[in-house]
Chains A and B, each alone.
Chain A
């Protein structure tokens, strides 16, 4: 029932022009060579830019029918970021990726596609998907028509059971629900929704010609947002639908921010097991630290600083996740991660390398717009730690404690102050010597006054 038009020419996003039909990408007017997978991935992200796209979904689109590890996806994402800029694709930890560049204004006559700019403080604007559940064909068609005229994408179901199945398999922003239906009526659907954590936050507007206040009251008790009497007044319908969608989008935004700023906290099961499954383990700790924050805060607005921290964290989290690390601390200008697989030291070092690459790219973008570059310090330390969930049942997080954790943090601070890129402790250096003997013996590797090894130094 969607009436969206598909533009046939190239679509313009900031400095990029993407032609899906010809599989071409132009940056600043110059054609850029992209691998076939990278282009498929870009097309998939652009087509879904109204939302965060889960990794599984992207893998299914780009490598249909194949079993592919996350790593392959990460490689393609990195390739795209090298061409498009680090911030063109945002990572939402635990949820996936989103293309963030806003579409340029379309020439008149072409309906603008939904677009979204995800950054701290900006509300994503998106085309909303609505489901209409009504067994009466005339009512269903009329309601769908009214909602489509408001610019929404509308799907329909002719009984409660079908509606519930669609809600469980597709993403919707709002349900318009009739009460009198065969198979499963509106009350039954509301009860199922209340019992399902995945559906509980989907807003529902009940539309019914059942008479009496008791029915409306029961719907509200069961969690419906609103109750509209049929025949539905179009003005009232628009007002209620807009209000429900706005609340939904605000909640989505909060959730997205929470996912970015406090990974791990959204999963209730993790919190329930807080402090119960701690373990002592050998691991490599990595800390990344943003240097000279005072200078940055003094030369830019608070909003710009927050945006910078958000973008910086996103890039660092990306590097950590793509090498199997687990974030243990997110504190604005510092990020901690733990690696505990067999090749922990190597993974941590690769993470540091990628962080440096991403930071360098980020700085090129900043300096090209007259902004101060950031200074990144990374510290890596290895040793025995205790890891697990700690906190209260209401608020808990994954934590790591041990001397190596503090050593990594201290090394990161030292690295940021010295302007050195990466400092590693002696244990990590010894672990790396087994895997990367050339690096350990490299003449670029220096020992600092504190006994740390300085590698990848820019100076």
Chain B
């Protein structure tokens, strides 16, 4: 478990409210959805589609908040709210953070 990646309080509450089995399914869904959102960010950036980009960032932020992935949510929020096009480095930094988040969530959900 890496408390720097996932806020344990938020995750515990989620499990208490929705059930641990369901949260496991939800984490697996996120593991499938997150790379899709990342791809959408890249495609939107390449196409110069500011609104699509903002919406994908918004979605990623929202999911980060749901799971207590505080840092991922903050990074996604910055992409959502900052001027378009964003700093490409910010988008690149998102890749390892998503990987860390998914790994941490899967470990927590299977405990």
Contact = CB atoms under 8 A, between A and B. Distances in A.
Contacts of B19: 145, 149
State the main secondary structure of chain B at its contact with A: helix
B26 interface: yes
A180 B17 CA distance: 25
A141 interface: yes
B17 A234 contact: yes
Contact of B63 (A138, A146, A149, A210): A138
Interface string B9-37: 01000000111001001100110010000
B59 A135 contact: yes
Contacts of A279: none
Contacts of A247: none
B29 A230 contact: no
A209 B61 contact: yes
Given A139-B63, A139-B66, A141-B26, A180 B18 contact: no
Interface string B49-80: 00000010011011101100000000000000
Given A137-B29, A180-B55, A231 B66 contact: yes
A136 B67 CA distance: 14
B62 A142 contact: no
Contact of B65 (A141, A145, A180, A230): A230
B82 to A, nearest CB: 13
A209 B17 contact: no
Nearest to A210: B58
A142 B59 contact: no
A180 B58 contact: yes
A138 B17 contact: no
B66 to A, nearest CB: 5
A141 B33 CA distance: 12
B18 A142 contact: yes
Contacts of A145: 18-19, 22
B63 A141 contact: no
Contacts of B10: 231
Interface in A315-369: none
Interface string B71-96: 00000000001000000000000000
B18 A138 contact: no
A145 B21 CA distance: 12
Nearest to A208: B62
A230 B33 contact: no
Contacts of B63: 136, 138-139
A209 B62 CA distance: 6
Contacts of A146: 17-18
Nearest to A182: B55
Contacts of A234: 17
Given A146-B18, A234-B17, A137 B62 contact: no
A149 B62 CA distance: 22
Contacts of A231: 10, 62, 65-66
Contacts of B18: 142, 145-146, 149
A70 B63 CA distance: 52
A211 B17 CA distance: 25
B29 A138 contact: yes
A210 B54 CA distance: 11
Nearest to A185: B55
Interface in A85-128: none
Nearest to A178: B62
B81 to A, nearest CB: 8
Contacts of A209: 58, 61-62, 65
Contacts of A135: 59
A149 to B, nearest CB: 7
A356 B66 CA distance: 64
A141 B62 contact: no
B58 A138 contact: no
A139 B62 CA distance: 8
A230 B66 contact: yes
- Among A180, A182, A211: residue with most chain B CB under 10 A: A180
A141 B22 CA distance: 9
Interface string A204-240: 0000011100000000000000000011001000000
B26 A138 contact: yes
Contacts of B26: 138, 141-142
Nearest to B27: A138
A142 B14 CA distance: 9
A61 B65 CA distance: 47
12 contacts: A136-B63, A137-B29, A138-B33, A138-B63, A139-B62, A141-B25, A141-B26, A149-B17, A209-B62, A211-B81, A230-B65, A234-B17
Given A141-B25, A230-B65, 8 more contacts: A137-B33, A138-B29, A138-B30, A138-B63, A139-B63, A142-B26, A146-B17, A231-B66
Instruction: List the 5 closest A-B pairs by CB distance, nearest first.
Output: A209-B62, A231-B66, A234-B17, A136-B59, A138-B63
Interface of A: 135-139, 141-142, 145-146, 149, 180, 182, 209-211, 230-231, 234
